[in-house]
Structure 1
Amino acid sequence: MAQSSTDHKAHTPFLSRPGVRRLIPFVLITAIALIFIFQNSTSIEIRLLIPLVTMPMWGALLIAWGLGILACAFTLRRRRNRHSRRTR
């Protein structure tokens, strides 16, 4: 009997799956970024257009990191939607 695609997926090693391969670099970079963020705990002053805000550096770095993740997710989502329209 021929194997179906679900049988093949069950026998594929976990680290050989494409989704896992794409996730490993993200997890490593995220871990390094979070270590860097939380090691910087001094207070700094940040100008947000008009107000001057004093906050811990880890807070500012965490906000910048989160905005970067959102921008990346938005860009990838738009790119994926654009490619799916072309194939129709």
Structure 2
Amino acid sequence: MRAKDRGGRVREWFTPARTVGLVLAALAVVLIVENTREIEIRLIVPVVTMPLYLALLLMFLLGVVCGGLYFRRSRGGEPGGRRTRQS
């Protein structure tokens, strides 16, 4: 593989959208690490006490999973899992 081919693949992977996504993910991790105090969270009926970083981490992971499910592309599909009709 030539160096020129590898550079093209790197440029294809580092699109502006992916770069922004990586920066936002890094900022989310910094926010999570910086917030370590205990908080109370009401889950409909029970009240749970946990570190704020754990609550933020759980919400971040939930967002990653929801985003992954929404934007997952199945073969021939569009974002959101919708398939286009092929004639």
**TM-score by shorter chain over 0.5:** yes
Q: Secondary structure at the match of 2:36?
A: coil
Unaligned runs of 5+ in 1: 1-6
Greater Rg over alpha carbons, structure: 1
**Would you say how many aligned residue pairs link Structure 1 and Structure 2?**
79
Unaligned runs of 5+ in 2: 74-78
Structure with more contact order per residue of length (Cα contacts < 8 Å, sep ≥ 6):
1
Partner of 2:76: none
Task: Provide the rounded CA distance (Å) in 2 between the counterparts of 1:12 and 1:45.
Answer: 49
TM-score, reference length from structure 1? 0.73
1:22-55, CA deviations, whole angstroms, 9 ceiling, x for partnerless residues? Answer: 4222211111110011101100000111111100
What amino acid is the match of 2:67?
A: C
Deviation at 1:57, TM superposition (A): 0.3
- Flag as ranges the 4+ runs of structure 1 deviating above 3 A: 11-15
Task: Provide the rounded CA distance (Å) in 2 between the counterparts of 1:42 and 1:65.
Answer: 17
TM-score, reference length from structure 2? 0.74
Would the alpha carbon gap of residues 63 and 11 (structure 1) be closer, same or farther in structure 2, given more than 3 Å must change? closer
Task: Provide the rounded CA distance (Å) in 2 between the counterparts of 1:71 and 1:57.
Answer: 21
